[in-house]
Amino acid sequence: MATIVVVGAGVMGTAITYPVADNGHTVRLVGTHLDEDIIQSCREKRFHPRLKRAIHEAVVPYSYTEVGTAMQGADVVLLGVNSRGVHWAAEAIGPHLKPGQIIMMVTKGLESTDAGELQILPDVLAANLPADIRDKVDYAAVGGPSIAGELAARHQTSVVFVSRNAEILPRLRSYFSTDYYHIWTSTDLIGVEICVAMKNPYALAVGLAAGVLEKQESHAPDPASAKMHNYAAAIFAQGLAETAYLVQLLGGGLDTVFGLPGAGDLYVTTQGGRNSRMGRLIGLGRTYTDAVEEMPNETIEGVDAVLSIMPAVDAMMKRGKIASDALPLLVTLHRILTRGESVEFAFDRFFSKLPLNPPG
């Protein structure tokens, strides 16, 4: 049996403990410094207050102050922190890592480097680990449509496990695969990580349609109750097209975009959750600052992603590495979030860039 240590006791970090614990492995759940109330509840009540579900009876909770103890003998260290927490996680786990361990990330996002380039989070993590260990561990990630509450309820879930080292993937799959958690494998780490990062801002953009419709109906209701699915679908498709552009530009595979990590993950993220709720509020006419006050104590990964990505995107556009008309949805979304601009899209500017290497 393997020992799996999950760092980050949020909903997704905790949800992924269910399949691996169902398989009989040793599972340790370590909270971050922001998770102390969750860990206390897990210890005292065996109940996760955000998942609203009992944790698996095999899972042992640990405070962030006990991360060194929890990591002893670990085969896999899985990071379930949010995108803001990757630097903290590197500092927390770095001193306790051992050669041969696997670091696996469910954390989604991209960062802009000082040189004005985009960097996937596994590479951000590696760059911030101690120099004497970073090349002695393996890196993997999870991509694909997976709502934490559904996974914790053991509903059918299909994902992709990805690593540049193909040799570790069968082992990871054997640890986590169950009759409800279905795993495909890939070595396209760039493609998967860009897809799962970009799905959050584009899902937020799709969510704008609900607010725009609600605002419109409050002023002039349509007698036939026409919806705005056409509006939302065009944004969804443009988000997927922009993702495809970035994936191919940075060396990822187009197949990844139209599989579980791309189209699949974007679809599931548009169906509810924090990004969609934030999109609705902004679509109603709230500024981002006002919308945040209506969603206190919630991390909106779509907003974090836009703010993190755009410095590099701007720099790459100035250098001509990204075409100036390639990302109209992302650029407009950034202006809406940071400048309080009204929710208006130049739909005629969509779909101007086909994939760089169209199939056939």
- pLDDT-derived band at 357 (thresholds 50, 70, 90) equals low
Instruction: Tell me which H or E stretch contains 331.
Output: helix 328-339
Count of Cβ atoms closer than 10 Å to residue 294 Cβ: 12
Separation between Cα atoms, residue 123 and residue 84, nearest integer Å: 14
Q: How many helices (H) and strands (E) does the chain have?
A: 16, 12
Residue 318 Cα distances to 83, 311, 322, 324, angstroms = 26, 11, 8, 8
Half-sphere exposure (Cβ direction) of 207: Cα atoms closer than 13 Å: 27
Strands 59-62 and 53-54, sheet pairing:
unpaired
d(CA 16, CA 151): 7
Inter-axis angle of helices 189-219 and 328-339, nearest 10: 60
Phi, psi for 352 (deg, rounded to 5): -80, -20
Burial label, 299 (beta-carbon count in 10 A; 0-12, 13-18, 19+): middle
CA quadruple 9, 15, 19, 20: dihedral, nearest 10: -10
What is residue 358's predicted lDDT score, i.e. its pLDDT? 47
Contacts of 69 (CB under 8 A, 6+ apart): 62
Rounded CA-CA distance 20/65 in Å is: 24
pLDDT tens by residue, 34-47: 999 999 999 999 99
Decide if 3-187 and 190-349 have a common fold.
Answer: no
For residue 360, pLDDT beyond 70: no
Nearest to 61 by CA among 47, 78, 81: 47
CB atoms within 10 A of CB 136: 12
Nearest Cα neighbor of 11 from 71, 54, 57, 51 is: 51
Query: At what angle are helices 328-339 and 301-318 packed, to 10 degrees?
Result: 120
In this prediction, residue 25 has a pLDDT band, given cuts at 50, 70 and 90, of very high
**Quick one: CATH architecture of 190-349?**
Orthogonal Bundle (1.10)
The helix/strand/coil state of 66 is helix
- Is residue 9 classed as helix, strand or coil in its secondary structure? coil
Residue 354 confidence (pLDDT): 64
CA separation for the pair 247, 79 (Å, rounded): 23
Mean pLDDT in the chain? 95
Contact 100, 64 (CB under 8 A): no
Q: Distance between CA 195 and CA 188 in Å, rounded? A: 11
User: Hey, what are 21's tokens?
Assistant: 């614990």
Are 329 and 205 in contact, with CB atoms under 8 Å apart? yes
Contact 257, 188 (CB under 8 A): no
Distances (CA, A) of 173 to 162, 166, 231: 10, 11, 39
Per-residue pLDDT reduced to its tens digit, 129-174: 999 999 999 999 999 999 999 999 999 999 999 999 999 999 999 9
**E strand residue ranges, the chain:** 3-7, 26-30, 47-48, 53-54, 59-62, 76-79, 102-105, 110-112, 118-120, 138-143, 157-163, 181-186
pLDDT tens digits along 217-270: 888 888 888 999 999 999 999 999 999 999 999 999 999 999 999 999 999 999
- CATH code, 3-187: 3.40.50.720
Polymer length in residues for the chain: 360
Contact predicate 262/194, CB 8 Å: no
pLDDT at 272 > cutoff 50? yes
Q: Where are the domains of the chain?
A: 3-187, 190-349
